[in-house]
Amino acid sequence: MHHFNRREDRLFAENVDVTALAEHIGTPFYCYSTATLRQHYTRLKDAFAQNEVTICYSVKANSNLGVIATLADLGSGADVVSEGELRRALLSGIPAGKIVFSGVGKTEAEMTYALNADIAQFNVESRAELEQLSEVATKQGKTARISLRVNPDIDAGTHEKISTGKAENKFGIAWDEAEASYAKAATLPGLEIVGIDIHIGSQITELTPFRNAFTKVADLLEKLTDAGHNITTLDLGGGLGIPYGPEDAPPPSPEDYANLIDEIFGDSGCRIFLEPGRLIAGNAGILVTSVIRTKKGEAKNFIIVDAAMTELMRPTLYGAYHDIQPVITNGNVQDVWDVVGPVCETGDFLGSERSLPEPQKGDLLAIFTCGAYSASLGSSYNTRLSAPEVLVDNEKFEIIRARPQYDDILALEKVPDWLKKA
Ligand SMILES: *Cc1c(COP(=O)(O)O)cnc(C)c1O
């Protein structure tokens, strides 16, 4: 569900005319819907009415302060994977007590920063990290609350680049070493074991992988409790998928997902953390681009637009499909087009073999489901200016990240002194 709807022939973001936005801001730009963000957060939260659940929005999906603050306002926590994301979460008003820190490569500096912020917990991904966190915490005179991210060796049935819970992935502590790692953690100073953590992948479109993983976690919980550990939190990760294309089978509903968690952990007495990213933000954004020109080739027809893989990496990175529609429908005949950007890479495409009416130069296209892993995965390759982000709320809108100027991005670089002419 989202709040980008057509009124007669024109696309609106809630009650804002997308064409008027484009005239005001220039293209390309991302446009996010507050109502959609709120709806996704609230639906998931409400699905868990029976349980104590803390939704820790996964900041990497969409890291804009305006988006995080919208969720903070609803009571969301955050899942962060770097000091930069932790700073964003705190700046956006998320209380430290609702922030969890994941990731395989936390540095000593990042651990120190997070300990001083007093975050809810570190999700520790290896024995070596346990030992280092223990040292850093001891040096700071602090105690780090920890969960171990265990790798349940489950095939999430998703794209190989976003599968994280198989034995060959770099994430988490191997299942067979989980109990020994908890025993080790219990001996280290500066650490307090509070929970178990998993995250098996992203864009998961069936419940079965979750069921398999959660069942293993329940088993581990029992063993750890028997071994005398006081496990009070279960962080079940994110990963619930969303529909991208009109033909996609609907992924499991938040209610089905919540029922599964309730069935397996309802009696555990543990506080549940969830780390959804895509589910909250994915459908809450579009990328608006204008047509530079069309090019009819011998083998293919191309629509060349001013957005590119620098704004939307997912098609070339994961072979992902994003729906593309004209912002204003015209009656032109349909043809089959590849929609491509100006970047000098063959992989720079946004959609291939799409039926679209022949556009004119300057016509606007909307690319859907660009609220997650779009702006946050962006780059400035080819010295492009990062596209601005706009947040709409009913009939209001605000630019929540401005388009930089060329001088801004060039100011960080310099020609070395030895090349400067006297
Ligand atoms: C990326 C990530 C998430 C969010 O995944 P989604 O598929 O966007 O829900 C949650 N937890 C961790 C540890 C992650 O790396």
Ligand 1: nearest atom to the Cα of 279: 9
- For ligand 1, whether the C-beta of 371 sits within 6 Å is no
pTM above 0.95, yes or no: yes
- Residues in Cβ contact with 67 at an 8 Å cutoff, skipping those fewer than 6 apart: 32, 37, 281, 391, 400
Residue 6 marked ligand-binding: no
269 occurs within a structural domain: yes
φ/ψ of 118, rounded to 5, equals 65, 55
Q: Is 275 marked as a binding-site residue?
A: yes
Domain identity same for 180 and 163: yes
With helix as H, strand as E and coil as C, how does 216-262 read? HHHHHHHHHHHCCCCCCEEECCCCECCCCCCCCCCCCCHHHHHHHHH
d(CA 237, CA 233): 12
Name the phi and psi angles at 336, rounded to 5. -105, 125
Which residues are paired to 288 by β-bridges? 29, 366
Residue 124 bridge partners (DSSP): 148
Largest CA distance in the chain: 76
- Return the ∠ at Cα 114 (arms to 110 and 116), rounded to 5°: 120
Angle at the Cα of 218 from the Cα atoms of 212 and 221, rounded to 5 degrees:
140
Q: Splitting the chain (422 residues) into consecutive groups of 10 residues, what average pLDDT does each group show?
A: 93 98 98 98 90 92 98 98 98 98 97 98 97 98 98 86 79 95 98 97 96 98 98 97 89 96 94 97 98 93 98 96 95 92 95 96 98 97 97 98 96 94 75
Nearest-atom number in ligand 1 for the CA of 281 is 8
Give residue 163's pLDDT.
75
Same domain, 272 and 302: no
Q: What is the pLDDT of residue 203?
A: 95
The answer to whether residues 253 and 274 belong to one domain is: yes
DSSP-assigned letters across all residues of 292-343:
EEEEE-SS-EEEEES--TTT--HHHHH-----EEESB---PPEEEEEEE-SS
Q: Are residues 101 and 74 in the same domain?
A: yes
From 231, 246, 281, the end of a domain falls on 281
Look at residue 415 and tell me if it is in a domain. no
* Ligand 1 centroid – CA 346 distance (Å): 29
Q: Is 278 annotated as a binding residue?
A: yes
Distance 328 CA to ligand 1 centre (A): 35
Total domains present in the chain: 2
Q: Is 258 in the pocket of ligand 1 (CB under 6 A)?
A: no
> How does DSSP classify residue 378?
-
pLDDT of residue 231: 98
Q: Are residues 115 and 258 in the same domain?
A: yes
List residues bridging with 305 in a β-sheet: 291
Q: Which atom of ligand 1 is nearest to the CA of 275?
A: 10
Q: Are residues 238 and 337 in the same domain?
A: no
Tell which residue, 67, 107, 104, has the closest CA to residue 84: 107
38 Cβ inside 6 Å of ligand 1? no
Domain boundary among 281, 312, 337: 281
Q: What is the pLDDT of residue 289?
A: 98
Please check if 141 is assigned to a binding site.
no
Return the pLDDT at 421: 80
If you take atom 3 of ligand 1, which residue's CA is the nearest one?
Answer: 238
Cβ-count burial 284-302 (b if 16+ within 10 Å, e if not): bbbbbbbbbebeeeeeebe
Q: Is 277 in the pocket of ligand 1 (CB under 6 A)?
A: yes
| 369 within 8 A of 282, measured Cβ to Cβ | yes
* Residues 22 and 91 both lie in one domain: no
59 in Cβ contact with 276 (< 8 Å): no
Q: In the annotation, is 31 catalytic? A: no
Ligand 1 center from residue 356 Cα (angstroms): 33
Q: What are phi and psi of 364, to 5 degrees?
A: -100, 140
d(CA 279, CA 375): 16
Q: What is the pLDDT of residues 78-115, one digit of tens each?
A: 999 999 999 999 999 999 999 999 999 999 999 999 99
**CATH label of the domain that carries residue 147:** 3.20.20.10
Structure-block tokens of residue 57: 């929005």
With beta carbons less than 8 A apart as the criterion, state whether 234 and 267 touch.
Answer: no
- 275, 279, 376: residue to mutate for ligand 1 pocket, most atoms within 8 A of CB: 275
| Ligand 1 pocket, residue 149 CB under 6 Å | no
Partners of 7 in beta bridges: 10
Which letter does DSSP use for residue 381 in this model? T
Q: Has residue 287 been placed in a domain?
A: yes
What length does the chain have? 422
Ligand 1 mutation target, pool 40, 100, 122, 199, most atoms within 8 A of CB: 199
Instruction: Give me the residue label for tokens 């801001």.
Output: 25
d(C-alpha 369, C-alpha 386), whole Å: 18
262 found inside a domain: yes
Query: For ligand 1, is residue 202 a contact (CB within 6 Å)?
Result: yes
Say if 243 falls within a structural domain.
Answer: yes
Q: Residue 13 is encoded by which pair of tokens? A: 């973001």
CA of 162 to the centre of ligand 1 (A): 9
User: Which residue in this structure is represented by tokens 């609220």?
Assistant: 371
Which domain covers residue 382, as residue numbers? 4-31+282-410
Task: Say if residue 247 is in the same domain as residue 383.
Answer: no
| pLDDT given for residue 170 in this prediction | 83
Task: Give the 3-state secondary structure of residue 55.
Answer: strand
* Residue 278 in contact with ligand 1 by CB distance below 6 A: yes
Residue 48, token pair as written in the block: 């868990």
239 and 320 housed in the same domain: no
Calpha distance 126→174 (Å, rounded): 9
238 lines ligand 1 (CB under 6 A): yes
Same domain for 133 and 218, yes or no, is yes
Q: Side chain identity at 227, as an amino acid letter?
A: A
